[in-house]
């Protein structure tokens, strides 16, 4: 089993609903169990600023799937939920990013693990620090908490505590 950490984001339509659909979809994957889900954070957009704020969360799960199979399932789940491709850093119904996949380092055109921008993004590090502060980044060898403490991103990140995402925990065979 591999420990996997995901970043979820949405800034179109019913943002909370899209995040919940992502968690529900991940919970249905065979050989995959959700361990923990962060609070939801309201964050200002990075890159293209003229769009609605994002809702972001992090998910910790364990899986027997390999990184490539898991990535393909995440992309298929985005499509099932209703993601419409626009442009880089543009608005999106749902975005599911693999942040960390065990100690794996993958540097391919369509798959980069760890996520190449996670250490520079407060909207990623805040929810990830909430659920896994002591996890080690496989390249920098620093904890997520340490990365968050030294992150220079000044984008607004606000924890929304009234609307947590839910999941059911059950170890699948």
Torsions phi, psi for 130 (to 5 deg): -65, -40
Average pLDDT (5-18) is 96
The DSSP output letter for 52 is P
- Token representation of residue 93: 């119904």
Q: Could you say which of 15, 33, 73, 97 is catalytic?
A: 97
Q: Does domain 2-160 have CATH number 3.40.50.300?
A: no
CA 146-147-148 angle, to 5 degrees, is 90
Residue tagged 């990184």 (tokens):
67
Q: Could you say which of 92, 134, 141, 159 is catalytic?
A: 92
Q: Could you say which of 83, 88, 134, 153 is catalytic?
A: 83
Residues of the chain above pLDDT 70, percent:
95
User: How many Å apart are CA 157 and CA 132, to the nearest integer?
Assistant: 18
- Token representation of residue 166: 């839910």
Per-residue pLDDT for 168 more than 90? no
Q: Is residue 15 annotated as a catalytic residue, yes or no?
A: no
The reported pLDDT for the residue numbered 48 is 83
- Token representation of residue 142: 């620093």
Q: Could you say which of 95, 103, 134, 159 is catalytic?
A: 95
Q: Is residue 69 annotated as a catalytic residue, yes or no?
A: no
The reported pLDDT for the residue numbered 163 is 56
Closest CA to 71 of 19, 112, 27, 23: 112
Over the stretch 81-116, which tens digit does the pLDDT of each residue have? 999 877 777 789 999 999 999 999 999 999 999 999
User: How many Å apart are CA 27 and CA 34, to the nearest integer?
Assistant: 6
Q: Is residue 92 annotated as a catalytic residue, yes or no?
A: yes
Q: Is residue 97 annotated as a catalytic residue, yes or no?
A: yes
Per-residue pLDDT for 173 more than 90? no
SS3 labels along 115-171: CCCHHHCHHHHHHHHHHCCCCECCCCCCEHHHHHHHCCCCCCEEEECCCCCCCCCCC
């Amino acid at each position: 089993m591999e420990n996997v950490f995901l970043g979820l984001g949405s800034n179109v339509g019913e943002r909370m609903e899209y995040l919940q659909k992502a968690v529900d979809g991940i919970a249905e994957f065979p050989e995959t169990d959700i361990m923990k889900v962060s609070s939801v954070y309201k964050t200002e957009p990075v890159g293209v600023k003229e769009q609605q704020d994002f809702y972001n969360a992090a998910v910790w799960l364990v899986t027997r799937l390999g990184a490539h199979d898991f990535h393909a399932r995440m992309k298929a789940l985005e499509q099932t939920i209703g993601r419409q491709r626009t442009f880089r850093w543009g608005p999106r119904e749902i975005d599911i990013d693999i942040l960390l996949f065990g100690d794996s380092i993958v540097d391919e055109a369509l798959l980069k693990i760890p996520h190449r921008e996670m250490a520079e993004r407060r909207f990623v590090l805040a929810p990830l620090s909430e659920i896994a502060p002591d996890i080690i980044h496989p390249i920098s060898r620093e904890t997520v908490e340490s990365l968050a403490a030294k992150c220079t991103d000044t984008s607004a990140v606000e924890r929304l505590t009234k609307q947590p995402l839910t999941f059911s925990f059950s170890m699948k065979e």
